[in-house]
Amino acid sequence: MRTHITNLLGRGPNQTTAFLSDPEVETLAETLVAFANADGGTVLIGITPEGEVTGDVLGEDVEAVLFRSLGLCRPPVATEWGQEDLPQGTVVHINVSRSPALHSLADGRVLIRHGPENRPLGGDAIRQLAATKSSGDFEAEPVGGAVRSDLDDDVIEEYLEKRSERGRRPVSGTTDDHLSSIGALAPDGTPTVSGLLLFGKQPQEFLSQSSIVFVRFMGTEPRGKDGLAGYGRRAELEGPVARLLEAAWNIVWEEMRVGAVVVGLQREEQPEYPSFAVREALVNAIAHRDYRLSGRRVEIRMFEDRLEVISPGGLPGYITVDNIVDEHFSRNPRIVAGLFQWGYIEELGLGIDRMIEEMMQRGQPAPEFKATPYSFSVILRNVRERRPSPPWEQNMNERQMRALAHVREFGRITNRDYRTICPNVTPETLRLDLADLVDKGLLLKVGDKRGTYYILK
């Protein structure tokens, strides 16, 4: 547990981790509700927002505050708590699981976790989230007829190795104990939907909808001449989700055209679509699709002018096309957690931002998102816009783009604002980022020391 808490401290507050200096009743209740309505998470008490251990927290005091906080939650949130004595002092950890129920505070507010913040939801978003939660937690259901031997021990071993590397500590307990703890096995040992999707030898024998269909069309339309099928290659991909991602990526990569660009004095090969954008579209389709829809599969359609990735099921939770860049909600948190441990998901909630940035940095249109009640599509177009990105934009990193976006929205940015936007980056790195934007002539530094802020030049 000590190593786990140390790792959480190193990553800072985020979608699934919150730091609280003191056990304050209302703030803790807000965080419990936000975690339960989103992906779950861990509250660390006795930690400053900057990640420093205060060393003056007592478990008995936290228990009393937790009891009062739970009294503000409607319905109460399921939690487990404990304490860990670190060299710097005692830290209390409260673990919150994602809940199938919609939770609110006693005053009626409904909150959701958004990055390192607890964000209130409005009426339409609340109704949409409630409708999604009421459908049940399908990925946790045991699969009738499946037995433990239907899981692939080699895939499980690979997953455990990846998880150990990411967590920098070996996984404790037996393999089956761990599978039960992550929801891959039901209490009676039966594989669950998420267990088969993550580790099954042949998941499609039980969940035929979990395969992927790839089609490479010869032109820009599904039909060729005289109304005949216009595709040149069609493949059906099967296996657990990690293998599906690998197979999907490999077949798309094989079919992508590769061009060349000159950067400085160097000639660089450049694929038809940015690799991250393609990977993110594939990961999202597999991780967030609605597996209850038994008659629909993920489809990858590759045309001469575009790549379409179509995922069965509408957008999850309170997500809409309008807020998809800013918000995050997982329909299948166990599958998402598994792909995170495998390394296919770097940090929750940031993939869409980077997908857009990479497409536009290449001079290609931003991805198109289309949602219906029963499907969600991501469309990447390979046409190049006439105006290439200016050199200064090509040389900016993702953090600096967020800083500029913040300035455009709010008129200024401070060092403190930047630390809130990028909580897992050292203050010195952020200071250098801002100094670099000043040197590029994009920002103007105003004030000095604690009063310093930056505006567009």
Quick check: is 444 in a domain? yes
- Answer yes or no: do 274 and 296 share one domain: yes
- Answer yes or no: do 117 and 147 share one domain: no
d(CA 152, CA 155): 5
CATH number at residue 222: 3.30.565.60
Domain of residue 403 covers: 392-456
- Domain end call among 358, 381, 404: 381
- Answer yes or no: do 175 and 302 share one domain: no
- Answer yes or no: do 196 and 257 share one domain: no
- Answer yes or no: do 145 and 261 share one domain: no
Q: Which residues contact 290 (CB under 8 A, 6 or more apart)?
A: 312, 313, 314, 316, 331
Quick check: is 126 in a domain? no
Report pTM: 0.71
Handedness of CA 90, 94, 95, 98 (dihedral sign): negative
d(CA 286, CA 289): 6
d(CA 280, CA 283): 5
CATH number at residue 86: 3.30.950.30
- Answer yes or no: do 57 and 83 share one domain: yes
d(CA 134, CA 146): 26
Count structural domains, the chain.
4
Quick check: is 357 in a domain? yes
Q: Which residues contact 271 (CB under 8 A, 6 or more apart)?
A: 253, 256, 257, 258, 259
- Answer yes or no: do 115 and 253 share one domain: no
Quick check: is 129 in a domain? no
Which of these, 162, 12, 9, lies nearest to 91 by C-alpha position?
Answer: 9
Quick check: is 387 in a domain? no
CB 356, CB 367: distance < 8 Å:
yes
Check residue 227 and give its pLDDT: 61
CB 40, CB 16: distance < 8 Å:
yes
d(CA 197, CA 38): 21
Quick check: is 127 in a domain? no
CATH number at residue 406: 1.10.10.10
φ/ψ bin of 366: left (φ > 0), alpha (ψ from -120 to 50), beta (otherwise):
beta
Q: What is the pLDDT along the chain (457 residues), one digit of tens a residue?
A: 666 788 788 888 998 999 999 889 999 999 999 999 998 999 999 999 888 999 888 888 999 999 999 999 999 999 999 998 888 889 999 999 989 889 999 999 999 998 899 999 988 889 888 877 755 589 999 999 999 999 999 999 999 999 888 877 777 789 999 999 999 999 999 999 999 999 999 999 999 999 999 999 988 888 766 666 677 899 999 999 999 999 999 999 999 988 655 555 565 678 899 999 999 999 999 999 999 998 899 999 999 999 999 999 988 888 888 888 877 888 898 999 999 999 888 766 667 888 888 888 888 899 999 999 889 999 999 987 554 445 555 567 878 888 888 888 788 899 889 998 888 888 888 989 998 898 888 888 887 777 788 888 7
With 0-12 CB in 10 A as exposed, 13-18 as middle and 19+ as buried, what is 60?
A: exposed
User: How far apart are the two ends of the chain, measured CA to CA in Å?
Assistant: 48
- Answer yes or no: do 372 and 416 share one domain: no
d(CA 387, CA 96): 48
Check residue 314 and give its pLDDT: 87
Q: What pLDDT digit, counting tens, does each position of 139-182 carry?
A: 999 999 999 999 999 999 999 999 888 877 777 789 999 999 99
CB 74, CB 103: distance < 8 Å:
yes
- Answer yes or no: do 376 and 271 share one domain: yes
With 0-12 CB in 10 A as exposed, 13-18 as middle and 19+ as buried, what is 437?
A: buried
Q: What pLDDT digit, counting tens, does each position of 72-115 carry?
A: 999 999 999 999 888 888 999 999 998 988 999 999 999 999 88
Q: How many residues does the chain have?
A: 457
Transcribe 136-187 into DSSP letters: --GGGSBPTT--GGGB-HHHHHHHHHHHHHHHTSPPPS-HHHHHHHTTSB-T
Instruction: Please enumerate, as own/partner, the contacts of 351-354 that have beta carbons within 8 Å and a separation of 24 or more.
Output: 351/280, 351/283, 351/284, 352/280, 352/284, 352/324, 352/325, 353/325, 353/398, 353/402, 354/276, 354/280, 354/398
User: Residue 448 phi/psi, 5° resolution?
Assistant: -150, 150
Check residue 441 and give its pLDDT: 84
Residue with tokens 């500029």: 404
Quick check: is 313 in a domain? yes
CB 453, CB 412: distance < 8 Å:
yes
- Answer yes or no: do 165 and 65 share one domain: no
Helix, strand or coil, per DSSP, at residue 445: strand
Residue with tokens 């009891």: 67
d(CA 342, CA 199): 12
- Answer yes or no: do 261 and 197 share one domain: no
Q: What are the C-alpha distances in Å from 357 to residues 288, 354, 434, 435? A: 21, 5, 19, 22
- Domain end call among 381, 403, 420: 381
Quick check: is 57 in a domain? yes
- Domain end call among 345, 361, 381: 381
- Answer yes or no: do 151 and 168 share one domain: yes
